[in-house]
């Protein structure tokens, strides 16, 4: 009752194709392995260069005993500081001096925190990134950050207009 396995005429062709597929796959696998090995060798060869580059990238800013900035312009255009894009407001100069010495203002611009949240960031930078004590400037800086970069604040907030010439609407 057990039928012997009958092969149809094309089965040898199928077999061949299978073999061929297998061959292709193993060749592809071999190529992948070789590429990975070459990559690893290159990585090993250039590793000192890469790590040197990485360390200058990360340590230049943190080990060089950073100081507050003293030399910067305070030119405003459209209610924004030209150099940093920070919004005009009380404390802007302090923020520029103390908060753009190690990294760009982008880290401030792209974040939104409450006063408490900003305070936590400052404490974190003081504990881990070499940020100096801010003394009495801290509350001014926090006021500025909380006022201009609070979670609800929309991105494009401009400073209120001054010197507006109002005119009477006529009926
Ligand atoms: C002594 C150097 C230094 C100073 C000065 C400094 N920071 Fe930083 N700050 C850092 C470093 C380092 C990082 C981490 C950067 C990174 O992740 O690439 C950072 C990250 C940040 C971040 C991102 C934090 C996060 O969780 O993603 C914010 C926001 C920030 N700083 C705001 C400030 C503000 C506001 C001030 C001014 C009070 C300031 N920084 C001053 C070193 C400094």
pLDDT tens, position by position, 75-87:
999 999 999 999 9
Nearest CA to ligand 1 atom 6: 99
Counting from 1 in the atom list of ligand 1, the atom nearest the Cα of 111 is 29
Q: Is the distance from CB of 70 to CB of 83 less than 8 angstroms?
A: no
Crossing angle for the helix pair 115-128 and 137-148, nearest 10 degrees? 130
- Other Cβ atoms within 10 Å of 136 Cβ, number: 6
Looking at residue 140, the DSSP 8-state letter turns out to be: H
Q: Is the pLDDT of residue 60 over 80?
A: no
Counting from 1 in the atom list of ligand 1, the atom nearest the Cα of 118 is 35
User: Average pLDDT of 63-69?
Assistant: 80
What pLDDT does residue 160 have? Answer: 80
pLDDT (tens digit per residue) in 93-126: 999 999 999 999 999 999 999 999 999 999 999 9
Give alpha helix (H) positions in 63-166: 92-99, 106-109, 115-128, 137-148
Nearest CA to ligand 1 atom 33: 99
pTM above 0.85, yes or no: no
Average pLDDT, the chain: 87
Q: Is the distance from CB of 152 to CB of 82 less than 8 angstroms?
A: no
* Mutate which of 55, 69, 117, 131 for ligand 1 pocket (most atoms within 8 A of beta carbon): 131
Nearest to 125 by CA among 143, 148, 144, 141: 141
Q: Is residue 51 packed enough to be buried (19+ CB in 10 Å), middle (13-18) or exposed (0-12)? A: exposed
| Centroid of ligand 1 to alpha carbon of 58 (angstroms) | 13
Question: Who lines ligand 1 at CB under 6 A?
Answer: 62, 66, 98-99, 101-103, 107-108, 111, 121-122, 125, 129-131, 141, 145
| Centroid of ligand 1 to alpha carbon of 12 (angstroms) | 69
């Amino acid at each position: 009752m057990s039928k012997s396995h009958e092969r149809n005429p094309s089965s040898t062709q199928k077999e061949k194709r299978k073999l061929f597929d297998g061959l292709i796959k193993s060749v592809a696998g071999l190529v992948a392995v070789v590429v990975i090995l070459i990559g690893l060798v290159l990585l090993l060869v250039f590793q000192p260069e890469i790590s040197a580059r990485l360390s200058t990238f990360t340590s230049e800013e943190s080990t060089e005993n950073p100081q507050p900035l003293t030399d910067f312009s305070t030119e405003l255009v459209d209610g924004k500081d030209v150099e940093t894009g920070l919004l005009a407001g009380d404390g802007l100069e302090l923020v520029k001096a103390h908060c753009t010495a190690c990294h760009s203002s982008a880290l401030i611009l792209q974040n939104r925190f409450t006063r408490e949240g900003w305070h936590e960031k400052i404490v974190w930078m003081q504990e881990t990134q070499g940020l100096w004590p801010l003394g009495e400037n801290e509350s001014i800086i926090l006021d500025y950050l909380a006022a201009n970069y609070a979670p609800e604040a929309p991105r494009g907030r401009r400073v209120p207009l001054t010197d507006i010439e109002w005119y009477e609407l006529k009926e």
